[in-house]
Structure 1
Amino acid sequence: MRYATFVGAAALVTFFALPASAFDGWHLESSATIEGKGAAWDYISLDGASGRLYIGHRKEGLQVFDTAGRKLLKTLDNTATQSSNGATLMPEFDLGFSNNEDGSITPFKMSTMEARAPIKLGEELDTSHYDPVSKRILVNMAAGKDGTELVVLQAPSLEKVGVIKIASKKPEHADSDGKGNLFMASRDLELVYRIDMKEMKVTAEWPASGCGQANSLAMDAVNKRIFLGCRGSDKAKPAFAVMDSETGKVIFSQEMGGGNDGVAYDAELKRIFLTNGVNAVMNVFEQVDANTYRQIEALGTHAGVRSLALDAKSKKIFAVTAEGSADYAKKVTTTVSPYYANTFYPNTFKVLIYAK
């Protein structure tokens, strides 16, 4: 009895030390349909200054969506036949480019949305990441038998200046620490790379302990924290994890929805948002301090809502999805889910806007 009383007292102290946060109430504010034949998609990115959302709609091309008018502005030239997987934006140079699945990039002027001829980098690529300190871009090319070659480009010329070879065959999201380093998640090796973009070399490889298939990544550079969205594995459930960017130590992890492909951090709200397409849920965590995190809500979204973009000014969250089905006569990506959609119906592609 005395032991039970002691445990209860300790729990009470913890409760008063960390009072429950108020429910934010994130919800679907509106949606807008983009008509088209029906195609898969991947990355989305937002230029908050112009209110333009860039959508990698693969065989439909890189589509530019007006977030204020809730309408499609343009599909960029030279991005549909190349199959756009998303855009990398460099507003300081009025420059962006489409990351194309055929191994090319299509540069464009952000102010006018005028596209140039594609630049071929290889046979296939996934995405790329910009470091504003070194003014360099890291491009995730398709993996080879013994790993992946990450191509380094110099902005704004987009000249190839080097290649960084890594053992991972599934390099994923990356973010800059504002000091010339990019931190990149490796899904297959379940680790995080620290890459010096000036020296063009890997300077650390940290295991993401308890983070099965580390996939999405965002930085809190001020507090030196890395936020990871982990898809889960046969040894670990899908989880949100926090890593110290100086030591590589995982200081927090908690189970969340499956099929993660997006994470965003708002330093003002002290919120971390993670979109998970398999379980159709957006998990929202609060950053109490650099070492303390807690989940405050989980919003039911729609199947396929796995990528997101956060507008730091309006506090609106943008995502995309479409009505889809798994056609077993074609290849199904069973590493994500046995029922992962590979066929999408015409005129069902939507931009979803979440707010509180």
Structure 2
Amino acid sequence: MRYATFVGAAALVTLLALPASAFDGWHLESSATIEGKGAAWDYISLDGASGRLYIGHRKEGLQVFDTAGRKLLKTLDNTATQSSNGATLMPEFDLGFSNNEDGSITPFKMSTMESRAPIKLGEELDTSHYDPVSKRILVNMAAGKDGTELVVLQAPSLEKVGVIKVASKKPEHADGDGKGNLFLASRDLELVYRIDMKEMKVTAEWPTPGCGQTNSLTMDAANKRIFLGCRGSDKAKPAFAVMDSETGKVIFSQEVGGGNDGIAYDAELKRIFLTNGVNAVMNVFEQVDANTYWQIEALGTHAGVRSLALDAKSKKIFAVTAEGSADYAKKVTTTVSPYYANTFYPNTFKVLIYAK
């Protein structure tokens, strides 16, 4: 009788520990191949109004993919030689630009996909982030010996209006709170910067305990929460972490797949998605409330699926990858994985569409 009571209590504890929501069943709905020479890639971004997915396909340029027709529309001029890392979009101005590895940006008109001559900002550039409140863009330039100079541009002129110096040599993803602040992840220093874009200065630096190599970042501004994708380190496993955007306190963290480089939040579904290219898994969390999160599934994807874009209307998730290999005659990014692909095969690049 005592044994039965113990088993019943244990079962109750197990049930209480289960997620509040059922399995969503996210899966690969379809895919589309984009023919090419086998270039690497970086960021992808979606313009929900037009259904156009912008793909930073490095030496093959900034490519525009029609998500409805499942086809490539155009590779934008002045983005291939410059090696596109992805696009920053400002639909209110019908304006976007390609973030180029050579330190330039290539402006284009979103409606016509017509590009202008590149604007040189420096020797090397990773990505940039638009704040619609201040109408300013924060550009992650290449790091120097003592940190990184973040260039500030004014939209829509794209005039350089300032520089913000940070100690981080690996600034990564950023998102805004709708009040003129951008929150920027620092992978090497494992912290989050709060940046006042109007004043162009750092107003807070918050460490991310338990979140090694803080990399991807998105916000739930309504609940004052910052969602972080953490690649992990010698002291911490790869994780999803949640930070209070007013205090900088980390209120939740849980292990996820290795090689994170993408995170997205859907306020209607109350879901957070993290794509992790090394372990080829997409972790899906439910937001029960501002302080409570459940991991509800981990979808097997494909090696190299590390960036994502979420369509808030269709509830579809877009990602990209290609068949690749680690060629040890070339430099391998062993800080990510000892087997991290550095060579990709022609005509294997794909856009993957996930749905539930």
For the superposition of Structure 1 and Structure 2, which TM-score range results when normalised by the shorter chain? over 0.9
SS of the counterpart of 2:223?
A: coil
Task: Map Cα deviations across residues 111-152 of structure 1 (whole Å, 9 max, x no partner).
Answer: 000000000000000000000000000000000000000000
Separation in 1, partners of 2:321, 2:84: 16
1:63 Cα shift? 0.1
Separation in 2, partners of 1:14, 1:224: 31
Separation in 1, partners of 2:53, 2:321: 14
Separation in 2, partners of 1:12, 1:195: 46
Separation in 1, partners of 2:335, 2:220: 29
1:20 Cα shift? 3.5
Closer, same or farther: CA 11–150 of 1 in aligned 2, 3 Å: farther
Separation in 2, partners of 1:224, 1:115: 37
SS of the counterpart of 1:222?
A: helix
1:21 Cα shift? 1.4
SS of the counterpart of 2:92?
A: helix
Task: Map Cα deviations across residues 247-279 of structure 1 (whole Å, 9 max, x no partner).
Answer: 000000000100000000000000000000000
Q: Which runs of 4+ in 1 moved over 4 A?
A: 1-11, 13-19
SS of the counterpart of 2:13?
A: helix
Separation in 2, partners of 1:84, 1:58: 4
Closer, same or farther: CA 19–326 of 1 in aligned 2, 3 Å: closer
Corresponding residue of 2:199:
199
Separation in 2, partners of 1:159, 1:4: 73
Aligned length: 356
Amino-acid identity (%): 96
Task: Map Cα deviations across residues 195-254 of structure 1 (whole Å, 9 max, x no partner).
Answer: 000000000000001000000000000000000000000000000000000000000000
Closer, same or farther: CA 146–13 of 1 in aligned 2, 3 Å: same
1:16 Cα shift? 4.8
Task: Map Cα deviations across residues 137-179 of structure 1 (whole Å, 9 max, x no partner).
Answer: 0000000000000000000000000000000000000001000
TM-score by length of 1: 0.97
SS of the counterpart of 1:142?
A: strand
Closer, same or farther: CA 212–4 of 1 in aligned 2, 3 Å: farther
Contact 2:181 2:196 in 1 (8 A): yes
Corresponding residue of 2:274:
274
Task: Map Cα deviations across residues 291-315 of structure 1 (whole Å, 9 max, x no partner).
Answer: 0001000000000000000000000
Contact 2:19 2:294 in 1 (8 A): no
Closer, same or farther: CA 220–10 of 1 in aligned 2, 3 Å: farther
1:12 Cα shift? 3.4
Closer, same or farther: CA 336–36 of 1 in aligned 2, 3 Å: same
Separation in 2, partners of 1:95, 1:3: 68
Establish whether residue 146 from structure 1 lines up as the match of residue 146 from structure 2: yes
1:6 Cα shift? 9.1
Tell me the C-alpha RMSD between the 2 structures. Answer: 1.8
Contact 2:215 2:229 in 1 (8 A): yes
1:341 Cα shift? 0.5
Task: Map Cα deviations across residues 20-48 of structure 1 (whole Å, 9 max, x no partner).
Answer: 41110000000000001110000000001
Separation in 1, partners of 2:108, 2:240: 35
1:17 Cα shift? 8.8
Contact 2:322 2:345 in 1 (8 A): yes
Closer, same or farther: CA 231–3 of 1 in aligned 2, 3 Å: farther
Task: Map Cα deviations across residues 314-345 of structure 1 (whole Å, 9 max, x no partner).
Answer: 00000000001111111111110001111000
1:9 Cα shift? 5.1
Corresponding residue of 2:21:
21
TM-score by length of 2: 0.97
Establish whether residue 293 from structure 1 lines up as the match of residue 293 from structure 2: yes
Contact 2:19 2:295 in 1 (8 A): no
Separation in 2, partners of 1:227, 1:4: 42
Separation in 1, partners of 2:29, 2:266: 19
Closer, same or farther: CA 173–19 of 1 in aligned 2, 3 Å: closer
Closer, same or farther: CA 187–17 of 1 in aligned 2, 3 Å: closer
